[in-house]
Structure 1
Amino acid sequence: MIAVDLDDLPLGRTVSAAPHAGVDLPRDVAPGESLILRLSGSTRRHVCDWTATLHWWDGTRARKRTIDHRGRPFRVTAPGPATGDAAR
């Protein structure tokens, strides 16, 4: 599981999750094995829009996939009054 506290990230910038995720990336996956990543973004102070872009090497070529909500960013809302509108 990769859990990212969106309150700790800079506004409007692309950042690597590795220092924030609590999981060692990159990882090696042997042929025939699978790696399942569960992504979770949370906030306590803002309304945040976010997507994730995964980059990997499949042994033959570099691959890239954007994870989003049906073509739009995920939206996460603080549990109390928000202090920003789509701040992330």
Structure 2
Amino acid sequence: MSNVRNEIKAQIVRAGFTMQDVVDKLAEDYGWSDSVSNLSAKLQRESIRYKEVIELADVLGYDIVWQKRGSDDAAYLIPSQLPSP
């Protein structure tokens, strides 16, 4: 398994979701395919887009945070500020 896949799958588990839960929520909230195999393939190929990662984080209840090393300043990426699907 790839590092991207491992990281994202670990976050899914930590958030208390199954892959099916996640794809169902992504389909409902963002119009993604409701196929677990489609998400798994994206993770395996490491072809998931940055916007998709932000949407995935959103359904898991996470924010993506850019923080300069050694700084307390952070920039948050808020899913509602992304263009509509």
TM range (shorter): under 0.3
* Structure number having the greater helix percentage: 2
Structure with the bigger RCO (C-alpha within 8 Å, sep 6+) is 1
- TM-score norm. by structure 1 comes to 0.26
Asked which structure has the greater CA Rg, the reply is: 1
